Structure 1
Amino acid sequence: MDKKIPVISIVGIHNSGKTTFIERIIKILSEKGYKVGTIKHDPKGKAKTDTPGKDSYRMFNAGARQVVLASPKKITSYIRDDDYDPSDIIEKYMVSDLDIIIIEGFKGYRNTDKFEVIRKEEDRDLVISEKEGLKGVITDYYPYPLKFDVNRPEDFAEYIEKHYIKAEKHL
């Protein structure tokens, strides 16, 4: 990758609202003209990414190391790789013209600032610490020096824009 793309992580427990919050951030930033990339962690491999019986599914399951499915409005790539971390994914697979990459999950990944989603109904403590890269929380109650209201994603989007996306980016 030629340019250094800023990367942040949104972490939290299962069903804490990470994906919904990220989806709202992507929409806000995209509407402002920014190019947002995401990496979604699926540690248990449960996400459906291809349809059984379809050609790309059959090719991958026959043993192909990579299958690229090219459609008029999107390109999907299935890659057989069992030894990776987010740095590998960013270096090998992310397009280079992105303004920001948002990682969902990968709590143990150390090379990024992390923001934890924690909601009142979860009634729990944080799952990561400052030592592990915690920069702030996205919450509806939790006290933390840097916190964002989970119901006001526009505030977090503004923070990302100001602190992570290059200021010289012209819209």
Structure 2
Amino acid sequence: MEIIQIVGFKNSGKTTLASKMIAMLSESGHTVASLKHHGHGGAPIGLENTDSAKHKQAGAVISGVEGEGILQLSAASWDVEQLIAIYQLMGVDVLVMEGFKKEPFPKVVLINREEDFSLLEQVKNIQAVITSLSFDTPVMYPVFKTSKIDEFYEWMKRNFLKR
């Protein structure tokens, strides 16, 4: 299973890019899945005051609920490797991860503001950068303008999916 991460600060366009990448990969015949990091704190979405929450409070290591094709699992904490193992069981070709900045997987970094450039020093395994800004110094990875996002998709088809 190939994994590619999309990282950027809040409201940088991660979800929009992830959705377009998923569509492009799916249209090219790949089985694609997504995994998003919920980094806003607080309780998991939609699990407060539910039977699943009661099960978790009672001591269940994992509490899950399925309905209408949606499976939601809750645990005290999830290790990213555990989450990835679940996706591998599903026979996924490509996993598009949104967030999880500290993980070591290949990354596409979104830069929208001058202060976002600090992200390039914070993350590892950068494969490409998408930005509307100009770079003052040369970098070791391709940089794509947000106004020419189709060039990024073509690059991804040629380079990333060959692994």
Q: Take 2:134 and 2:99, find their aligned partners in 1: how far apart are those partners?
A: 19
1:134 paired residue number = 126
Please tell me whether residue 94 in structure 1 is matched to residue 87 in structure 2.
yes
Please give the secondary structure, in 2, of the residue aligned with 1:20: helix
2:73 paired residue number = 77
How many percent identity over aligned positions? 25
Letter in 1 for 2:76: R
Q: Take 2:157 and 2:56, find their aligned partners in 1: how far apart are those partners?
A: 38
The structure-2 alpha-carbon separation of the partners of 1:60 and 1:6, relative to structure 1 and needing over 3 Å to count, comes to: same
Q: Is the CA contact (8 Å cut-off) linking 1:8 and 1:113 kept in structure 2?
A: yes
Structure 2 residue runs without a partner (length 5+) = none
Cα shift readout 1:87-114 (whole Å, capped 9, x = no counterpart): 34213x214411111222222222x222
2:106 paired residue number = 113
Structure 1 residue runs without a partner (length 5+) = none
Cα shift readout 1:105-140 (whole Å, capped 9, x = no counterpart): 222222x22211011xx2222412498222210112
Q: Take 1:60 and 1:50, find their aligned partners in 2: how far apart are those partners?
A: 14
Please give the secondary structure, in 2, of the residue aligned with 1:76: strand
Question: Comparing both structures, which one devotes a greater share of its residues to helix?
Answer: 2
Task: List structure 1 segments (4+ residues) > 4 angstroms apart after TM superposition.
Answer: 151-154
Name the count of aligned residue pairs.
Answer: 157
The structure-2 alpha-carbon separation of the partners of 1:52 and 1:109, relative to structure 1 and needing over 3 Å to count, comes to: closer
TM-score (norm 1): 0.73
Please tell me whether residue 28 in structure 1 is matched to residue 21 in structure 2.
no
Please give the secondary structure, in 1, of the residue aligned with 2:65: strand
Please give the secondary structure, in 2, of the residue aligned with 1:136: strand
The structure-2 alpha-carbon separation of the partners of 1:76 and 1:131, relative to structure 1 and needing over 3 Å to count, comes to: closer
The structure-2 alpha-carbon separation of the partners of 1:130 and 1:52, relative to structure 1 and needing over 3 Å to count, comes to: closer
Please give the secondary structure, in 2, of the residue aligned with 1:94: helix
| Two-structure CA RMSD over aligned residues (Å) | 2.8
Letter in 1 for 2:102: G
What pairs with 1:1-171 in structure 2 (closer than 5 Å)?
5-46=1-42, 48-81=44-77, 84=79, 86-91=80-85, 93-96=86-89, 97-110=91-104, 112-119=105-112, 122-124=113-115, 125-129=117-121, 132-143=124-135, 145-165=141-161
Please give the secondary structure, in 2, of the residue aligned with 1:158: helix
